[in-house]
Structures are given as structure tokens and as C-alpha cells.
Chains A and B, each alone.
Chain A
């Protein structure tokens, strides 16, 4: 009769859910990256083609999408640094849970700063 292993890093609770979050945000960022290289490549077609497509990024709905994307990027970045600390720091695995709360706190502060600035620029009268 197998028993549930105790104290694992990647099964259940913070360790597993941060791993799930890292995967989902990673895939989202990857697909945006494909699109973003394609839209930027329009500078090679004509100045007007680029400016027209980039104009699509400036509507309010897209501003919300960009804010969500940056939320994903900030989480993936900070949690990625946590993964590196788990792998390379001697006490990383021991403190992985505490480090996740640090990641979430830093995420909240960084994301709030970004969202306030970006949304007031993007949604503000222009």
C-alpha cells in the first residue's frame, strides 16, 4: 500500500501550484512572443502597415490584455528566479515555500506599479 510521500517539493500545495502557474504563464508568453515577432516584422513591409497593426495594441481592450500578459511575465520572471534559488542555493529547497510568498509579494508590488502606469497611459485621454 503506497503512502503519500511527505515533504515533496512538487506534489500538492505551494510547490505544485507554483509549478502549474509557471507552465501556464510560460505557454501564454511563448504564443504572444510568436505573434509579437510577426507584428514587429511589419516594419519591413511598410511604415504604414506597421503603424496600422501597432494601432490595434492601443485600444482599451488590448490594454487589458497587455496588462494580463505583463502579469504573467512578472510571475514567470520572479518564480523562475525562485526555481533557480531552489536548484542552486543550499537551503533553497528548504525555503521554497517562503520564497513563493516573497515572489507573490514582489509580483503584487511590481504588477500594481505597472498596471497603474500602463492603464492610465493607455486608457487616459489622448
Chain B
């Protein structure tokens, strides 16, 4: 006889499954359903955002040869592309993190292995989302260090 374990993403005692197939109660009760729904909703939005990103950056004009500091500066001078990239960053990172979380739950059998893999995953996610968000909003097309303009920047004529 093979014993089928209950899903790791909703262990007994987490308030999700047993007792009595409890569906409500703990605040974590709906987490897996919300995560499942988020994957589908964010997925649809990401198809549009990423296809648009690839088209504008790689297929128009000179394609990849046009990408340099000035290209990024030109895009982020426009709040439209700032918001586009911000939405892409957050949605893709959360979508990808939840996907990798599912994979860790599926393949790592030891409790402690699963725990530590997820600690690493969430730490990496937090660093990347915070870093990316700061970069988009603190971007400076004309960086100046110690009163000297860095070469390659877009500085207004003095």
C-alpha cells in the first residue's frame, strides 16, 4: 500500500485541510487559493508586459544594438515606461517566486531543507524587488560624483 501524503503547501495543523476539511478559520486559510488565482491573473498581465518589453527593446529599429545607458535614460524619462517596468518587476518576481516556492514544496522532502530553501528564495526576492524599485525611481540621467559629471550621462548644457 502506498500512502499519499497530504500536500506540503497545506499541512495538517496549518488550519488548511484537517480537521474536517476546514476551509475557513485561520488567516492563512485562503493563502493557497489566493496564490493560485494570482498566478493566473498576473500571468495574463505579464504576457502583455513582457511581449511589449521584448518588442520595443529587441525588435524595433536597431534592436539590441540600440540598448545602452541613453536608451534606458530615454525610456525612464517617461512615467509610462517607469510604471510599465515597475509593474513588470513586481508581477514577474512575485509570479516567479510563487512558482519556485511550489517547486521547492514538491521536491524537497525534508522539513528543514524546504524551510531553508524558502528562506533563501524569499531573501533573494526581497532584495531584487527593493533594488529594482529603487533603481527605477532614483534613476539619474546625469550622474555627478564629487562635483564631476560621469562620462556617458545626459547632462543639461551648463
Contacts and interface: CB of A to CB of B under 8 A. Distances in A.
A83 B152 CA distance: 45
B157 interface: no
A48 B69 CA distance: 8
Given A43-B139, A47-B151, A70-B54, A117 B43 contact: no
A1 to B, nearest CB: 12
Interface of B, helix, strand, loop or mixed by DSSP: helix
B151 A37 contact: no
Interface in B77-107: 89, 92-93, 96-97, 99-100, 103
B51 interface: yes
B43 A46 contact: no
Secondary structure at the A interface, as helix, strand, loop or mixed, is: helix
Interface residues of B, number: 42
Interface in A22-42: 23, 26-27, 29-30, 33-34, 37-38, 40-41
Interface of B: 40, 43-44, 46-47, 50-51, 54, 58-59, 62-65, 67-70, 72-73, 89, 92-93, 96-97, 99-100, 103, 124, 128, 131-132, 134-135, 138-140, 143, 150-153
Interface of A: 23, 26-27, 29-30, 33-34, 37-38, 40-41, 43-44, 46-48, 50-51, 54, 57-58, 63, 66, 70, 73, 77, 80-81, 83-84, 87-88, 114, 117-118, 121-122, 126
